[in-house]
Amino acid sequence: MKKDLLKKLPKVDYLQNVESLKKIKEDISNYDFLQCIKDSIDKFRQDILQEEIKDFTQVQIIEDIKLRIEKKSKEKIVKVINGTGTIIHTNLGRSIYSKDIGNKIYNILTSYNNLEYNINEGKRGDRYSNLEKLILQVTGGEAALVVNNNAAAVLLCLNEFANGKEIIVSRGELVEIGGSFRIPKIMEFSGAKLVEVGATNKTYIEDYLEKINENTRILMKVHTSNYKIQGFTHEASKEEIAKLARDKNLISMEDLGSGNFINFSKYNIVNEPTVFQSIESGMDIITFSGDKLFGGSQAGIIIGKKKYIDRLKKNQYLRTIRIDKLTVAILESVFEIYLNKNEAVKKIPTLKMITETKEEVLGRCKVMSNILSKFKIEHRIIETKGNIGGGSMPQEEIDSYGIEFQMEKGSVLEKLFRKNKLSIIGIIRNNKFILDLKTIQENDIEDVCNNVFQIYKRKGLI
């Protein structure tokens, strides 16, 4: 019996040429395609030897291979639809770029470029020079430097200016910045010694003054962008810290986190400290992320006094954390947009989603609803609450609208949508599956609806 079943197993060469498998082969590499076939045959072989199956068909093997290909295709970075309503979604790539920036990056990707070549002078150039000029045009700072993320920016600064020396920070600002990376650990790794002052909820400038000694090098402020302490609170202002540092011939530094350039109060959203406010406060060094509220790529942007930035540029750590050509190109494009702040909220997708009205979201919902109705898919438009995400503006909710699918057991739909060839990620509330249109782009709606129709049709739901 086992022998007959083992002989019945199809050959790898035969399965490679099965038409239905060849159609989905493009979703993965040839190596992975071959491995999926081999793994499927091995699985059936083991089941036969262990007498877990009494018979099988080639169709069953082909379906098993398809499932393996589908699973393998989800392991690489692919486009997904974000229907969660979380704008800066850490798990889904944080900020997205406009189509214009995407087209520019395509040319950089597929061509040689002048990353470290000065075209005007015909000799080697500096990869940061034009980007630094743009940053200074937008911010009005003295000098700037960019590394691969904000944790690296903080690490570089602390290593250069406080290695073996002390940094004073408020206890209420010793944040964890995600993935278990904590400010105290970053300080320790830099070679600096952390000195905590104040209490969790209250820290005064006198607390900093009390701890200053001959080993102190930096007075540091960390913006708690991913949580809020409310109630009986007080914190030393950045102006107070900057002044005390100047008076004591020390360096003042702020880790601003999300890197906000916009006054959100104009859009009825809780105001977030801006980079401009930090510069105006007199802080010597300011660091922030490039892929959060700024709306660009992953990067750690450092703005500060020229004498300090010049020192950072000579630090040996810099080469290990420098940015590549794509990051340079993306950040240049985004900073060019910020030259006109009124345009920034329209052209940078992250800012556009944060500042748009709920009526605009409702408009997209109605477009999607009309298409779904033509497909006879039961649903309804509901009010929802989106959020900023990405460790920015905690507890801030934004009025939004979404599509609620009228099918019990929303977890079943959630899995079907998520595992679809075009992964559609949504949320479950009250056992219903919902797509929040706050984070679904207008040019994706038709594609999403077509995929939803195929899911329903494939599973016999319509």
- Phi-psi region at 187: left, alpha or beta (left = phi > 0; alpha = psi -120 to 50): alpha
Name the strand (E) or helix (H) holding 105: helix 99-109
Determine the pLDDT at residue 180.
57
Tens of pLDDT, residue by residue over 82-128, are: 999 999 998 999 999 998 999 888 888 899 999 888 888 999 988 88
How much is the pLDDT for 424?
97
pLDDT of residue 226: 59
- Asked whether 157 and 309 are in contact (CB, 8 A), the reply is no
What's at 201, amino acid-wise? N
Question: What is the rounded distance in angstroms from the CA atom of residue 4 to the CA atom of residue 424?
Answer: 43
Beta strands in 193-278 (DSSP E): 193-197, 216-222, 251-257
Q: pLDDT at position 200, please?
A: 81
* Cβ(171)–Cβ(197) below 8 Å: yes
CA distance linking residue 108 with residue 359, whole number of Å: 37
Residues of the chain with pLDDT under 70: 177-181, 225-231, 391, 394-395
The pLDDT assigned to 26 comes to: 77
**What pLDDT does 178 receive?**
58
Q: Which domains can be identified in the chain, with CATH numbers?
A: 2-72 (no CATH), 80-94+351-458 (3.90.1150.180), 99-345 (3.40.640.10)
Task: Specify the pLDDT at position 322.
Answer: 93
